[in-house]
Structure 1
Amino acid sequence: MSLDLTGLEIVMAGDDPNAARYAKDIYPVRQKGNLLLCTLLLGNVAVNSLMSIFSAEIFDGTVGFILSTFLIVIFGEIIPQAFCSRYALRIGSTTIPLVKIIRVLLFVIAWPLAKGLDLMLGRELATTYSNAEMIELLNVHVKENKIDQEEANAMAGALTYKTMCVKDVMTAMEQTYMLAIDEKLSFETIGKIFKTGYSRIPIFEISRDNIVGILFVKDLIFLDPEDNVPVRSFIQIFGRNVHLVWPDDTLGEVLTELKKGNSHLAIVRDVNNEDESKDPVYEVKGIITLEDIVECIIGDEIVDETDAFVDNDQRIKVERGDTFEWARLRLLDTKIVDEMLSASEISAVTAHLKTNHTKSFQLLTDMQLRRLVSSTPVTTFSTATQDLNKELPNELLYEKGTPSDTFTLVLSGRITILVGSENFKTDLSSWSVLGASALQTKDWIPDYSAFVSDGPCRCIRIGRDSFIESSDALENDVSIALSAIDSVEEDVTSFGESAPSVASSTDEHVPNNRKTVLKLLFHGDDDKVDLISNGDAPIVQFTDPPETNNNEQATEDAG
């Protein structure tokens, strides 16, 4: 009788095949609950009475009373109850044939009683639980390791979200990113929208309490940033309506509206009547999204690919191992500029200079070159202007016959050079270099003029002084390394004087250790290692290159 119909139905639909089979055997008998109740009670009373009569006939009254009570309590109550509390389904399924026999024997008496109970009490009520009881039941299942905490949170959220108010879940007005309707959708504005990571942006007019539309970020795919389309025109074209809710609305009501597909974002608006001397006015309290409600249901924060914060209320930033570098967009548009190179750009520039311009940077190691590139700011030039009566533009990067000490690497844009007496024109674009000889030749004079013909032109410019400082830093690094090696050699020598056998074997390895350190410093360049370790030449030496034909020099410098 402890197994009600609802419990049996749950077990029959469960994932335990044995328990489901036991419940299926018990269910037909359990359906007639009052008949089963009357049968079991009549049988129980009959057995207890019979035992008392036999005990009284065999023993005297007191002994029979004590004996019958002991037997009934131990074998009729305690032991059956203890086993049935643990193996109720299995015992119930096994005893079904016996119960059917007893029901037939007692049917004449049990059926009228059961029928009377049916008429007086009606059908048997199923066991049900309130939301609070269900949550407590979930906690019990978590403690028994039947379900994990995440599953319990999701179930509990599904039970409670309908009664929660919008004001408890919404994103406050102060933490909401909005755009004014008079702004232009320029590249800068679209870049700011991109960095926020939001898919829907509220648009306000005059005041942030006057929301007039919603901008869908996916609609921006139709725009050309160079057109500077006004936000007002954009909103009028797409006509995204604003869905309004009140702070005291329940999440169940709001979810019903958001599921209809009109919008996944709603503006939370309330009436401000705190100042009795003024008329009540509408005031925007914040926003609520479909994602906010889903997070409330599952009991956890949802962080998508573009979210900047895990929790907008707490302003907890998303920690990503592979964050998107804004600098990568420079490959798509030259308008995106920063003052310094990004980490990926530093690696690319260093590899390019070391591979394709080895002669200019052969005196620097990879580490020194990377340090020089990372410390060099990015310079951005606009397209050069030219007066009608002048042969050359006003803004020149290099001027023929004018000394220069600057090396230039073009990252984006286009530079035009004019070579020779006839001003032969050549255009240079990304990854081209100018003034390569200026790094090693003092007062280097270009035989060409160069200017930006298609800007903005983004480039890095390395001065000869910065290059020499990097070379001096290299010399200091080598000197420190050689001093450390000499110190080790002295220690080994002094030790060898007291232990000749050890010294003789160690001396053979000293030069090798010296070369090993230098090889690590120069990243495996054996020529430099031999040159320095043998003391045959200075570490850094600048010489003027031999004179070359002007056209050959221009071709090399503008490579």
Structure 2
Amino acid sequence: MTALLEPQNLILVGIILMLLIFSGFFSSSETALTAASRVRMHAAEKDGDRRATIVARLMNVRERLLGGILLGNNLVNILASVLTTVLFTNLFGDSALALAAATGVMTALILIFAEVLPKTYAISQPDKLALIVARPISLIVTVLSPIVSMVQWIVNGVLHVFGIDTNASAWTAADEIKGAVDLHLQEGGVAKRARDQIYGVLEIGELAIEDVMIHRSNLSMVALESPPEDLFKEVLASGHSRLPVYSNDSDNVVGVIHVKDLLAALTKAGDAASVDVKKLLRQPWFVPETTSVVKQLRAFQSKREHFALVVDEYGALMGVITLEDILEEIVGDIQDEYDEELAGVKRMKEGGAVVRGDVAIRDLNRAMDWKLPDDEAVTIAGLVIHESQTIPTPGQTFAYHGYRFEILTRERNQIQSLRVRKTFEPDQRKNA
């Protein structure tokens, strides 16, 4: 005890304690600056907080930030360990016991007071602490940047030898947002419908018209040659406000009829037979199926139109695209009194659902909260045909992507309905 009170040993104790404080500072700063919210820092920066600007700048040079903090932390920890060894040697002599005691004490002190305690505090309020340490850490990173740059050059060189690219990142900004939204959905902070709408906004740029259009197999059309009375009945029975009108051949679309125009003409004429349908036709607007959904949305806005006919590269009619179809990709199904809720999807009590073959995979994923891939096919029937490389027959079952598909009905070469449910079965080979 007398030896500990000697001036040189008291100085060593004071320096060691100061180094432990520095170590705790570096540890807490590392946790705070890596866990701080970019969104909240950006908001604080817009409000004029200069500390938030420094934090944002440090977060944008993450390698230099972590390199500077780790370098400073290791320097003070190593120096503290060396001085502790000197202190214990002064107290107990140059022996193995002194070295063991110094190692044990220093390990406990660093673990508790320089690592666990400061990091626990920092993780509890990272944004607040990040703003506090921003200026001193920025200064330290600037001072140590030459050494950090040299260390980073060596590290990158070694990793490059093993074929590791430190600049490559598999995550995009959209992926990060999706991950955050999914996490909040699991924690109950975000509703499923809100999650689907955010996904819709993020993914709409990846879609083409052919991914969201109404296919011609489900398209309601009327023939120009039909008697006016029959044409009126077909238009009103369709439940749609606009319908394509063809002459002789369904590929020969000559115009679009609007219910409003039809009813106005009927009211004026007083008799369906007296209405000249040709004069009511609006000019059809044809767009390529490869047009992006975002581009088509802007075209709808600029032309103040809601309805367009989709054609392939040969000019053949493929379907129609409406403004409502595009908006539904963002806000979900827009239903009125004529729409069926979850049309074509019937949930089963035992799990899974009976699905109509022409139901879009994206719509099914939203309705059932599934993750069926939609890269190679638009409809659920198309997915089964793509994966099996055949036209399945009723009764056949397949297992792909963690889901089981059972074919229920088929008409000609079209799968009319199938039962889909999650499964743990391994995927079948495409040529099975």
TM-score under structure 2 length normalisation: 0.54
CA offsets, 1:253-293, max 9 Å, x none? Answer: 4334333326322223347xxxxxxxxx8543332212112
Distance in 2 (alpha carbons) for counterparts of 1:149 and 1:283:
39
Aligned to 2:270: 226
CA-to-aligned-CA distance 1:419-474 (integer Å, 9 cap, x gap): xxxxxxxxxxxxxxxxxxxxxxxxxxxxxxxxxxxxxxxxxxxxxxxxxxxxxxxx
Partners in 2 of 1:57 and 1:292 — Cα distance?
76
Contact 1:8–1:23 (8 Å) recurs in 2? no
> Is the CA contact 1:38–1:114 (under 8 Å) kept in the aligned structure 2?
yes
CA distance in 1: counterparts of 2:339 and 2:75, whole angstroms: 73
Cα distance in 1 for partners of 2:40, 2:174 equals 21
After superposition, what is the alpha-carbon deviation per residue over 1:497-545, rounded to whole angstroms, capped at 9, x for unaligned? Answer: xxxxxxxxxxxxxxxxxxxxxxxxxxxxxxxxxxxxxxxxxxxxxxxxx
**Is 2:344 the counterpart of 1:314?**
yes
Q: Does 1:152 align with 2:195?
A: yes
1:198-228 Cα shifts (integer Å, max 9, x gaps): 2211111012221111112232354124352
Q: Does 2:51 align with 1:25?
A: yes
Deviation at 1:249? 4.5
**Paired residue secondary structure (2:308):** strand
C-alpha distance 13-225 of structure 1, shift in aligned 2 (>3 A) = farther
**What is the aligned partner in structure 2 of residue 286 from structure 1?**
319
Residue 154 of structure 1, CA deviation: 0.8
Query: Secondary structure at the residue paired with 2:303?
Result: coil
Displacement after TM superposition at 1:89 (Å): 1.8
**Aligned equivalent of 1:200:** 242
Q: Which has the larger radius of gyration?
A: 1
Post-superposition Cα deviations, 1:375-415, rounded to whole Å, max 9, x if no partner, equal xxxxxxxxxxxxxxxxxxxxxxxxxxxxxxxxxxxxxxxxx
Quote the residue 2:334 is aligned against: 302
Residues 216 and 206 of structure 1: is their aligned pair in 2 closer, same or farther, counting only changes over 3 Å? same
Tell me: CA distance 1:5–1:204, structure 2 relative to 1, closer, same or farther (3 Å). Answer: farther
Residues 302/63 of structure 1: CA separation in 2 closer, same or farther (3 Å cut): same
Distance 2:33 2:78 in 1: 29
Deviation string for 1:171-203 (max 9, x for gaps)? 2334322222234555x7546534433221111
1:82 positional shift: 2.6
Task: Give the AA of the match of 1:91.
Answer: L
The residue type paired with residue 44 of structure 1 is N
Cα deviation, residue 312, structure 1: 9.6
CA offset digits 1:327-377 (Å, max 9, x no partner): xxxxxxxxxxxxxxxxxxxxxxxxxxxxxxxxxxxxxxxxxxxxxxxxxxx
Alignment of 1:326-337 (within 5 A): none
Q: CA 1:93–1:288 in structure 2 vs 1: closer, same or farther (change >3 Å)?
A: closer
Which consecutive unaligned segments of at least 5 residues does structure 1 have? 272-280, 317-559
Distance 1:114 1:270, change over 3 A: closer
Counterpart in the other structure of 1:399 = none
8 Å contact 1:258–1:264 — kept in the other structure?
A: yes
**Structure-2 separation of matches of 1:40 and 1:30:** 16
Structure 1 equivalent of residue 109 of structure 2: 71
The residue number in structure 1 matching 2:144 is 110
CA distance 1:30–1:126, change in 2 (3 Å):
farther
Aligned positions of 1:539-558 closer than 5 A = none
TM-aligned CA deviation for residue 135 of structure 1: 2.7
* Deviation of 1:149 (Å): 0.9
- Give the direction of change, closer, same or farther, for the CA distance of 1:41–1:160 in structure 2 (3 Å limit): closer
CA shift digits 1:72-119 (9 cap, x unpaired):
22222222223322322223334457658xx48x97x53654687999
CA distance in 1 between partners of 2:246 and 2:64 (Å): 72
- Alignment check: 8 A CA contact 2:311 2:318 kept: yes
2:125 partner letter? Y
Letter in 2 for 1:310: E
Task: Give 5+ residue unaligned stretches, structure 2.
Answer: 1-29, 89-97, 157-166, 347-432
Of residues 86, 95, 100, the one that matches 1:62 is 100
Residue aligned with 2:270, SS: helix
Q: Sort the Cα spacing of 1:99 and 1:311 in 2 relative to 1 into closer, same or farther, 3 A.
A: closer
SS of equivalent to 2:130: helix
Seq. identity, %: 22
CA distance in 1 between counterparts of 2:345 and 2:260 reads: 25
Quote the residue 2:218 is aligned against.
175
State the AA in 2 paired with 1:215. Answer: I
Residue number in structure 2 paired with 1:10? 39
Letter of the 2:338 partner, please give it. Answer: A
C-alpha change, 1:195 and 1:7, in structure 2 (3 Å) is farther
Partner of 1:310, secondary structure, is coil
Instruction: Assess if the C-alpha contact under 8 Å between 2:55 and 2:130 holds in 1.
Output: no
Higher relative helix content: 2
RMSD after superposition: 4.3
Residue of structure 1 in register with 2:257 after alignment: 215
Letter in 2 for 1:90: K
State the AA in 2 paired with 1:140: L
Closer/same/farther in 2, CA of residues 259 and 5 from structure 1, 3 Å limit: farther
What amino acid is the match of 2:190? I
CA 1:5–1:218: 2 relative to 1, 3 Å: farther
SS at structure 1 position matched to 2:340: strand
SS in 2 for 1:241: coil
CA distance in 1, matches of 2:184, 2:175: 14
Deviations 1:283-312 (A, max 9, x none): 4333221211211222x21123xx522379
Q: 1:259 to 1:211 in 2, by over 3 A?
A: same
- What is the Cα deviation at residue 153 of structure 1? 0.2
SS in 2 for 1:70: helix
Contact 1:5 1:27 in 2 (8 A): no
**1:52 pairs with 2:98:** no
Question: RCO higher in 1 or 2 (8 Å CA, sep ≥ 6)?
Answer: 2
Distance of aligned partners of 1:87 and 1:170 in 2 relative to their CA distance in 1, 3 Å threshold: same
Query: Which residue identity does 1:61 align to in structure 2?
Result: L
Indicate the SS of the match to 2:302: coil
Q: Which amino acid aligns with 2:270?
A: E
Distance 1:289 1:167 in 2: 12
